[in-house]
Amino acid sequence: MKQKYKIESMSYGPFAISHSAEGEVVFIENACPEDEVEAEVYDKRKGFSYASITELVKESSLRNPDPNCKLHKICGSCQWQHIDYNEQLKFKKKNLEDLVRESKIDFNEELPDVLGMEEPWNYRNKVCYPVKTVKSTGRLQAGYFKRNSNELINIKFCPIQYSIFDEIIDKVKDLCSDKLITDEVLRHILLRSNNDKSQVLLCLIVRKKELFPETHASIKEIFKTLTAEFPQLKTCTINYNTLSTNVILGEKTETVIGSGYIFETVNDLTLRISTTSFFQVNTKQFSKIIDLIVPELKADSKILDAYCGAGIISLALAKKLSGLDITGIEVVASAIKDANKNAEINDVKAHFIEGKVEDQILHLFQKAPDARLASSEQAELTDVSMMTAKNKRNVADGLLGVDVVIVNPPRKGCTNKVLDALGEMAVKKIIYVSCNPSTLTRDIKRLEGFGYKLKSFQGVDMFPHTYHVETLAILETTS
């Protein structure tokens, strides 16, 4: 049944929010606050519904009158491209304010404006497209999935990524089709580039443990053709992933052409980036995050960088402030390899440890008991869960001597085990970088139970034209 709605706000997600005549919350895609629409409910739940627009009755002045991508209404990549960019930033700030309030965090300051981009287009330095072979033609397609479906949209132009990617992917699709490389072999096409587009990395992710010799030879021919046509394409790799999951990359990567990596420069830091390296997709906005963190540190600070990835944050900070003592923890072995190599390239002193954060952080507690403590007190330190309030400061000042802990976890946030260990450490400051403000506010609330207080909460728009927002939170202990 169709009904008219006045759009009130944006959710933290792809939907705008309105209410039905009965007062029920209705989530509507491709709508903008102040729109007046006619929409039809397609999914009714207990207490709320999802609806799609059947007619845009009155268009909001907050809309972007000419979105750059004509597929934005169906593509699952950009959920907010129909909204004026400056308004997107305001809605993201409002979403952050709502999350802080709803989580009941002890923070009464007005949030600063989200830091946006002057040119919020062509910012993605990495793209990874799933592929599909059209059975009737044998041609390979690549792109993003249509919202709420497994239907692949064949993308030929994407305005949020580097434009060189469009050209290379178009050629990859043609060459794979001609060489009969189908989706029975190929899973994804991955491209990475440095900021000035002078170095590009291409990886074909295959669903095989190993390739037949003729298939491998065909892929090698494809790579040779591409590198001849695109001089900026410096290296080509094959990644092998046999898992039937949504994990994109497998553990094995084979370098076929070039060195297997490219070099990026950010904040005077030279970074080696490989196929599997974690690096923020928006280089320019990442620099802003580093600039926000630097004032929170002293030149002789001792830092624990949890979920350090390839050590990008650690090394960028060390380049800005000489004298920092940094230890990083990361579970991905290839990332640790990159981190150590990047430290060597930049002549930066840092120590990186491979392992799960929740395991390694406990190990670090136990590694060097403080000789000043009585034996009974040392015994208490062998189990973080048994630490007394008296010993919390000894852990921070005596064992590790850590002044600041930086955490940059995946979207699911930190585990309770990590948060509890951080709470027991009682370091003076925690700097939390998050791509998911929902889990960030949840984790901050838990840390409050250990005497931490939120001092600042800054949104940085790493992902223009989507609802996603990177957030930097600074917490300090009150004890």
Within 13 Å of residue 350, how many CA atoms lie on the same side as its CB?
36
pLDDT class for 88, splitting at 50, 70, 90?
very high
Mean residue pLDDT across the chain: 90
The Cβ of residue 428 has, within 10 Å, a number of other Cβ atoms equal to 16
- Say what percent of the chain tops pLDDT 70: 92
Question: What pLDDT is recorded for position 266?
Answer: 86
Reply yes or no on whether 75 is catalytic.
no
CA-to-CA separations, 470 to 86, 88, 267, 303, 458, in angstroms, rounded: 16, 14, 19, 21, 8
Enumerate the domain spans of the chain: 1-63, 126-265, 278-477
The average pLDDT across 412-422 equals: 94
Which position among 75, 78, 308, 435 bears the catalytic label? 435
Q: How far apart are CA 240 and CA 217, in angstroms?
A: 16
* Other Cβ atoms within 10 Å of 397 Cβ, number: 16
Q: What is the pTM of this model?
A: 0.89
pLDDT band, residue 163 (cuts 50/70/90): very high
Look at residue 365 in the predicted model and tell me its pLDDT. Answer: 60
Among the residue ranges 170-179, 259-268, 439-448, the one predicted with the least confidence is 259-268
The answer to whether the 1-63 and 278-477 domains have the same CATH topology is no
pLDDT value of position 366: 57
Predicted pLDDT at 400: 57
**Side-chain half-sphere exposure of 18, counting CA atoms within 13 A:** 25
Confirm if 439 and 411 have CB atoms less than 8 A apart. yes
Residue type, 365: F
Across residues 256-267, what is the average pLDDT? 93
Q: What is the pLDDT of residue 392?
A: 43
Average pLDDT over residues 8-23: 94
pLDDT of residue 150: 87
With a pLDDT cut of 90, the percent of the chain lying above it is 77
Query: In the predicted model, what is the mean pLDDT of residues 145-174?
Result: 94
Report, as an integer, the average pLDDT of 17-34.
95
Q: Poorest-confidence range of 70-79, 92-101, 168-177, 217-226?
A: 70-79
pLDDT score recorded for residue 63: 96
Radius of gyration of the chain from its Cα atoms, rounded to whole angstroms: 25
The dotted CATH code for 1-63 is 2.40.50.140
pLDDT at 478: 80
Overall CATH class of domain 278-477: alpha beta
Backbone dihedral angles phi then psi of residue 15, each to the nearest 5 degrees: -105, 145
In the prediction, which pLDDT does 377 show? 35
Q: Domain 126-265 class?
A: mainly beta
Task: Calculate mean pLDDT across residues 328-354.
Answer: 91
Report how far apart the first and last C-alpha atoms of the chain are (Å, whole number): 58
- Over 90: is that where the pLDDT of 310 sits? no
Print the SS3 string covering the chain: CEEEEECCEECCCCEEEEECCCCCEEEEECCCCCCEEEEEEEEECCCEEEEEEEEEEECCCCECCCCCCCCCCCECCCCCCCECHHHHHHHHHHHHHHHHHHCCCCCCCCCCCCECCCCCCCCECEEEEEEEECCCCCCEEEEEEECCCCCEEECCCCCCECHHHHHHHHHHHHHHHHCCCCCCCEEEEEEEECCCCCCEEEEEEECCCCCCHHHHHHHHHHHHHHHHHCCCEEEEEEEECCCCCCCCCCCEEEEEECCCEEEEEECCEEEEEECCCCCCCCHHHHHHHHHHHHHHCCCCCEEEEECCCCCHHHHHHHHHCCCCEEEEEECCHHHHHHHHHHHHHCCCCCEEEECCHHHHHHHHHHHCCCCCCCHHHHHHCCCHHHCCHHHHHHHHHHHCCCCEEEECCCCCCCCHHHHHHHHHHCCCEEEEEECCHHHHHHHHHHHHCCCEEEEEEEEECCCCCCCCCEEEEEEEECC
| pLDDT over 70 at 370, yes or no | no
